[in-house]
Amino acid sequence: MYHTRKELAKYGMFDARTSMVMRRENCHDGYCCGLVRLYACMGLHRYNLLQGTNFELDYVRRYNMTLASPAATFYITLGATDPYSHKYLTFQTAVKEESCGVFVLTSYIARPRGTDCKVLEREFFRIGSFPECPNENPFGNRNRFYLVDESELQFNDWIRLYLELSVTKSDRSSKDHDLSNLKTVEVAIETTEPPSELSLTAKNATVYIRYTYFCEARCGKNFDHIAIVRRTFIEPIQ
């Protein structure tokens, strides 16, 4: 057991063992809590969006979680495979909770293990919710919003990821939520790009997801919701 920041620096944030400032969890048979799996997927999404790849999570090997604040930073080691090339890589990603119980997350590390971090960590990737809602229906204006069709939903798993993160982070009573009753109905994306250049891959975007959530355990009926998620890339000052 390591107990000092000096030893953490020696072994690295991803490989250090349990200490007074960090807890290490090994995921047996690839299993870990649902929240950590979502954070691992968020790191992969960051990498895929920047690199144009399609890596998908296979399993979480282990993660280290900081203990100094209720809003923790997770250093996650995971295995991922590109389903098209069948290439397998061990990844490392760090996800920081900006505030306890609030859906604002920052990923500043997302890389294959052993990669030069100076190349892949030039930008901070942040996603989260915010209270503003447009004056008009975001699902009915193709001039201002990119309206995602059904076929695009099937090939863009990150939309489902955003929805699951939004629901999970809004209820911190459990780290393992039953998300099987979530159903995406409509998705609209707003960016700073001209209307003719609206797309799914814009770095900075606001995503509006209309969904239903069958809340049988608490109320026994479907509820219609809208999740609003903002994606931001913060480039370093030159």
Q: Provide mean pLDDT across the span 208-219.
A: 72
Contact (Cβ atoms closer than 8 angstroms) between residue 129 and residue 106 = no
Residue 164 zone, left/alpha/beta (φ > 0; ψ -120 to 50; rest): alpha
Contact (Cβ atoms closer than 8 angstroms) between residue 91 and residue 55 = yes
161 band by pLDDT with thresholds 50, 70 and 90: very high
For the domain covering 1-126, report its CATH number: 3.10.450
The structural domains of the chain, with segments of one domain joined by +, span: 1-126, 129-238
Q: What confidence tens digit (pLDDT) does each residue in 106-157 have?
A: 998 999 998 765 555 556 789 987 757 788 888 988 888 889 999 999 889 9
pLDDT top residue among 22 and 207: 207
Q: What's the sign of the alpha-carbon dihedral 139, 43, 67, 164?
A: positive
28 band by pLDDT with thresholds 50, 70 and 90: confident
* Whether pLDDT at 186 is above 80: yes
